[in-house]
A and B are shown apart, each in its own frame.
Chain A
Amino acid sequence: MLDSVIFYFFAGIAVVSAVLMITRRNAIHSAIFLITTLLATAGIFLQLRAEFLFISQIILYVGGIMVLFIFAIMLVRLDVPLPQIRSRTQKWIALLVALAVGLEAGVVIWLARKVPGQGLLIPNAAPADKLAPNTEELAKTLFGTYLLPFEIASVLLLVAMVGAVVMAKKRTDA
């Protein structure tokens, strides 16, 4: 019961602030609601007893990426809404996609209503002391079972980073 309450609390905050993030005209306000969404998602991770995901969500997304976002927003002065170039069909495509996703979610919830532990009410997760400490589990998975994909992803990110630096660097010889 308590787990359900916590989940719906954070999920509600996440959804509402996600909507607000899109509808706000001021870019900084949007960024703040995005931060709220990310924090609420971190709260859901915590409700799932995934402490390490919770804190990496906060450190990486909120403490790292969002600081960069706000930095960029403040530099380019987006606080006056510009007349956006909008395509007329965009609205209808968006509506269609939203309806499709909403329908899918509804169908899944409807189909799962009878499966034990899959309904609207979230079953209580195992108490934290019964679970393996998930920092260690995550490390074992990343650096054991999935070592090769992990390393490939790292190299890919490194390449992207070096590429970004090279592209951003001023050409003195030209």
Chain B
Amino acid sequence: MSPMLHSILAFVQTWWVELLCAVLIVLVVPLIAVYIVLVERKAMADMRARLGPMRVGPHGLLQPIADALKLLFKEDLIPDNADQFIFWLAPVLSMTAALTSMGAVAIGPWFQVARDINIGLLFVVGVGALGPFGIVLGGWASNNHYSIIGALRSTAQLISYETTAGFALVSGFLLAGTLNVRAIVETQRTDQAWYVFLAPVGFFTYLIAWIAETNRAPFDLPEAESELVAGYMTEYSGFRWSLYFLAEYANMIVVASVGTTLFLGGWLRPFPNVRWLAGLDAAPTLLLAAVGAYCVFRAGKQPARAQSMFMWAVAFGCFVVAAIFTLALPFSHLPLERMHDGLYGAFWFLLKVSAYIYIFMWLRFTLPRFRFDQLMRLGWHILIPLALVNVVDVGIALALSSEFGINRWVAMVITTAATLGAAMLLLHWNDKYAAAASAALLTDSSIAEDTHAG
């Protein structure tokens, strides 16, 4: 055996778990992303009293696969005047950044590619911050006015909300005292509280700022279809377009994972230290069994034979996974018992991430899009001062509890009240400012110069 092959084999032997996790992420995340799109379409349809996709597979369950196939076979157009290299590079950059940053996310205590790296969540956020380059460069390379306006808006928005996003993370890091993903979750277990309860304002600013950073509605100015066709994606089609699309949804997963890890207790089940709530461990089994039973119930009502077969298959899958969860319970005395932590951790983590992503969708369907000056005012006049005050207040609360021995919860309540007071003050000032601005607009007959809109 040649030494080269030998060293490669040794490498694989040492790192096979991590390699397997990485391959799984690259394979599964795009699939999850397209199914998030289906869920989004279904939820949107439900809120608008429609049915949503129903044709492909039972209840449209195969719609994402059909869409993906269609996009793969679509003609790949590159405009003649586009910058060929950057046009090619931009969507790849977005997708690579999104998938790479997934590497340090811990889905349950077991499933993580980059285990125990000291910078932990900073890696996720930092590498994820490379993704917007794809948007900016793609918009520029298209050589199209709509695209470049979308790219400019995206950049301006990114710069405005990055500070808030960073400070929101800082308030969580202050509480955890570490950047390591695993340690952050474990300190939430020992502190006996998810940090969303200790730093509610921090979580709120995190939520808002990262919706803006991922360009989701109501902050989707860079691809505002009513004004910019599709913004930076106007010239993209087929597979390149779907890369942008996947990157957007992969980024949503990343943002939801970071929020879950830092503020929502990661893979801990609700009340991890309360012994008598250990019955919550039955939740995964019950949930999956319920889904399976529903599929069995619906299987007989499907119009076509193939569709009812499909329903039976889904039900069977649910029951199998439910059985695995049951057999992994501590009292089963089976080899599966060793998988208990990993399986149940992954379940709770994914449940929280799903809930977080649902908030993303919910906001998208209920709120209208911001105007650009509103977006800028929200970012600079309200969110950045609020995030700053919040970081200072979290620091004060920590100092109060560690130096002066005041109960942590009391300190937190006092400082959160102070932060909220500051927020009210900011909103009040902002209202006065807005009133003055619109009054000035009314008296000044000339149309105000829109200095923000690029």
Contact = CB atoms under 8 A, between A and B. Distances in A.
Partners in one complex: yes
User: Mostly helix, strand, loop or mixed at chain B's interface?
Assistant: helix
B129 A28 contact: no
Interface string B120-135: 0011011101101100
A52 B118 contact: yes
A74 B151 contact: yes
B153 to A, nearest CB: 11
B119 A51 contact: yes
A120 to B, nearest CB: 22
A133 interface: yes
B159 A67 contact: yes
B212 interface: no
B122 A59 contact: yes
Category for how many chain B residues contact A? 20 to 34
A133 B152 contact: no
Nearest to B148: A74
A104 B83 CA distance: 40
Contacts of A29: 86
A66 to B, nearest CB: 8
B133 A51 contact: no
A74 B156 CA distance: 12
A135 B179 contact: yes
A58 interface: yes
Contact of A67 (B125, B136, B140, B454): B136
A151 to B, nearest CB: 16
Nearest to B127: A58
A64 interface: yes
Contacts of B162: 63-64
Contact of B137 (A70, A128, A134): A70
B247 interface: no
B155 interface: yes
User: Mostly helix, strand, loop or mixed at chain A's interface?
Assistant: helix
A92 B437 CA distance: 56
Interface in A23-39: 26, 28-29, 32, 35
B118 A67 contact: no
A71 B137 contact: no
Contacts of A70: 133, 136-137, 140, 155
Interface of B: 83, 86, 89, 117-119, 122-123, 125-127, 129-130, 132-133, 136-137, 140, 148, 151-152, 155-156, 158-159, 162, 179, 454
Given A32-B137, A58-B129, A74-B136, 5 more contacts: A58-B130, A59-B126, A67-B132, A75-B152, A135-B118
The 9 A-B residue pairs with the shortest CB-CB distance in the complex, in nearest-first order: A63-B129, A59-B126, A71-B155, A55-B126, A58-B126, A133-B118, A51-B119, A55-B122, A55-B119
